[in-house]
A and B are shown apart, each in its own frame.
Chain A
Amino acid sequence: MPESVSNITAQMPRAKLAGLLLFFLGPAVAIYTLFSIYPLVATMALSTYTSDPSGARYFVGLANFETLLGDALWSKPFWNAFGNNLIFFAVHMCVQNPIGIALAGLLSLPGLRLKGFYRTVMFLPTMLSVVIVGFSWNLILSPLWGVASGALKAVGLGSLFAPWLGLESSALVTLSLISVWQFVGIPMMLIYAALLNIPEELIDAARVDGLGHFRIFFHIKLPLVLPTISLVSVLTFVANFNAFDLIYSVKGALAGPNFATDILGTFFYRTFFGNQLQLGNPTMGSAVATVMFFIILLGLCLYLFLVQRRVRRYAF
């Protein structure tokens, strides 16, 4: 029997072991530290400072957070952005993931022709630049020259058309749906891969038990891909609370109309870099970024403790 790794390392001279560790782990640790750990710590540190007009910085402890959550001038837009972000996330969870699951279920049907074609077509938007997607949908939905109104008229639903992106009531949901359209390929692919992993004989057994395709999906396949669905959910959560690009490219940093589409990403951007009459405030921006970090951390912890521990992965 070959010697176990722990035995080999235990017998190694300390210096040699350290050299080996450095050789194998060093590069990854260095890059991760430089680009992930350092910026995170530096941002958190910066959030405890404030600067005067001369540019000098003073340590103020948690004062920035008190301002952000206590001063109505800051807290109102912050909670607005947070609320909008929750809606943004809710639309993804309720629309993107169910559609992704359904598409994956359809793709995994036996005997479906042109599988590869459908898969590619549905995944294609995910590979497009968000800027291009945002710009295209902006044009499509434009009440002046967009094709949406014409297309609705052509099928006799012209009266349903509204300038969705321009209305406070519908802008956020419209943007969320654009994002859903773009990224539905990701849950589809992940769940499709999980569905392919289910052994054929299990499906055969269910057929012998008298289940049709629909019931097989709900009673057999769906429970078996639950771990993947929960993974997709947590990926969606992280991506949604870090989102910025689509809102910025469609509505600009002001996230109009009247901040109706403002989410934490755009709120952070305006705070940190400034926009129009608002001056950039890196220390306050860092505070926003830190709060965003903790929101996501809290969400992940809740997921890990409440969901992940109960989800069971099945070995086939």
Chain B
Amino acid sequence: MANLRIEHLNKRYGATTVLNDVNLDIEDGEFVVLVGPSGCGKSTLLRMIAGLDGASGGDIQIAGKLVNTLAPAERGIAMVFQSYALYPHMNVRKNMTFGLKFTGVPPAERDRRVAEAARMLRLDELLERYPRDLSGGQRQRVAIGRAIVREPAVFLFDEPLSNLDAALRVSTRVEIANLHRMLKSTIVYVTHDQVEAMTLADRIVVMNKGCIEQVGRPLDLYYAPANLFVAGFIGSPAMNFFEAKVGSVEGGCARISGPGFRSFDLPATSLKVGDSLTVGVRPEHLGRGEDGPFAVEGVVELVERLGEASFAYVRRADDRLFVAEVRGRQTPTPGERATLIAAARDVHVFDAAGLRVTTQNDA
């Protein structure tokens, strides 16, 4: 168990920059999820922590020790791969002990660790079987078992659930969360699935184009996204964005107006008249009503009924679509004119550079 510190980490392949000045501090015992769209560099970052890829610049410290030049096995990490990467020609027991043999763990100790991991992961019955005889979920548990017996300082997970079917994914997610609670180890977990990120993480690291966009607790990212990218990435369906301008500023309040929604006052002191803004509201924060701090009107074009809620695709006056999540049995009907409102604290405002504008509503 250990903390992990990444400083000014860079990765370039020729002219392409894959990681650009990544800085990250991970506490001992923390479960950190790296999330982002494909190609954002999250897997590369994980592989660099593991020592499978070298850095073009910057430092990685595990438990206060600089590990830049160390081989993967010397870093005190264990990794669970997307394809599980079990050795197909070894049975489960050998798969788990194979690495220990080469790192000088005596046989008795190996057996003890395997027995303990097998008990924890319910693998006892499977120890003599070969990977080909195991189901996807069982293979996944063996892969995790192989990581546990290494007794690493840091666990690295590379999209471990993406090869499982939906039901198994949910149950394995719970198992991983339980495992973290039991082992209390430091975990870095890569996924492109924001549900996994939100449910598992102590802290989420949102990455995009080789840079860290925001680091924070799951609900902080949800309620206070630091920029447009995080706002659009976290949450499903994605946040609605409205173009806006600052009309006037008076006594710490800015008048925000734009096509498609009713002008409103924003208690923010940093804005100037004429600033271009983007206003964002999540579909689930829009509700039917007459008038509110934020109100938008339009004609319902399409309704997706999920049961617990319906998604209404509404066309605004300026001919753009936005989505509102409507709860309850009364679903909107296409063609209906609707006014949707949101509370002031659910309205996110971003400046021209895409950064969050802090308002008194945030407090």
Are the C-beta atoms of B82 and A201 separated by less than 8 Å? Answer: yes
Among B47, B88, B89, the one with the most A-chain Cβ atoms within 10 Å of its Cβ is B88
| Segment of A112-120, A207-215, A286-294, A302-310 engaged in the interface with chain B | A207-215
A70 beta carbon closer than 8 Å to chain B: no
Q: Nearest chain A CB to B120's CB is how many angstroms away?
A: 20
* Contact digits for B180-211, partner A, Cβ 8 Å, 1 yes 0 no: 00000000000000000000000000000000
Q: Nearest chain A CB to B152's CB is how many angstroms away?
A: 9
Interface size on B, residues (CB 8 A): 26
Q: Is the interface of A mostly helix, strand, loop or mixed?
A: helix
Are the C-beta atoms of B87 and A220 separated by less than 8 Å? Answer: yes
A35 beta carbon closer than 8 Å to chain B: no
Q: List B67-90 residues whose CB lies under 8 Å from chain A.
A: 71-74, 77-79, 81-83, 85-89
Are the C-beta atoms of A207 and B71 separated by less than 8 Å? Answer: yes
A109 to chain B: which residues have CB within 8 Å? none
Are the C-beta atoms of B82 and A314 separated by less than 8 Å? Answer: no
In the complex, what distance in Å separates the CA atom of A314 from the CA atom of B77? 28
A201-B83, A210-B99 given; A316·B73 CB < 8 A: no
Q: Nearest chain A CB to B349's CB is how many angstroms away?
A: 43
A205 beta carbon closer than 8 Å to chain B: yes
B330 beta carbon closer than 8 Å to chain A: no
Q: Nearest chain A CB to B102's CB is how many angstroms away?
A: 5
A199 to chain B: which residues have CB within 8 Å? 83, 85
A223 beta carbon closer than 8 Å to chain B: yes
A202 to chain B: which residues have CB within 8 Å? 85, 87
A219 to chain B: which residues have CB within 8 Å? 98
Q: List B162-196 residues whose CB lies under 8 Å from chain A.
A: none
A205 to chain B: which residues have CB within 8 Å? 79, 81, 85-87, 146
Among B47, B72, B132, the one with the most A-chain Cβ atoms within 10 Å of its Cβ is B72
In the complex, what distance in Å separates the CA atom of A314 from the CA atom of B133? 12
B82 to chain A: which residues have CB within 8 Å? 201
Are the C-beta atoms of B73 and A223 separated by less than 8 Å? Answer: no
A204 beta carbon closer than 8 Å to chain B: yes
A210-B73, A210-B102 given; A201·B81 CB < 8 A: yes
Are the C-beta atoms of B89 and A314 separated by less than 8 Å? Answer: yes
Are the C-beta atoms of A204 and B73 separated by less than 8 Å? Answer: no
In the complex, what distance in Å separates the CA atom of A201 from the CA atom of B150? 18
Q: List A207-235 residues whose CB lies under 8 Å from chain B.
A: 207-211, 215, 219-220, 223-224
In the complex, what distance in Å separates the CA atom of A199 from the CA atom of B102? 22
Are the C-beta atoms of B72 and A210 separated by less than 8 Å? Answer: yes
Q: Nearest chain B CB to A115's CB is how many angstroms away?
A: 18
* Contact digits for B306-338, partner A, Cβ 8 Å, 1 yes 0 no: 000000000000000000000000000000000
Q: Nearest chain A CB to B263's CB is how many angstroms away?
A: 54
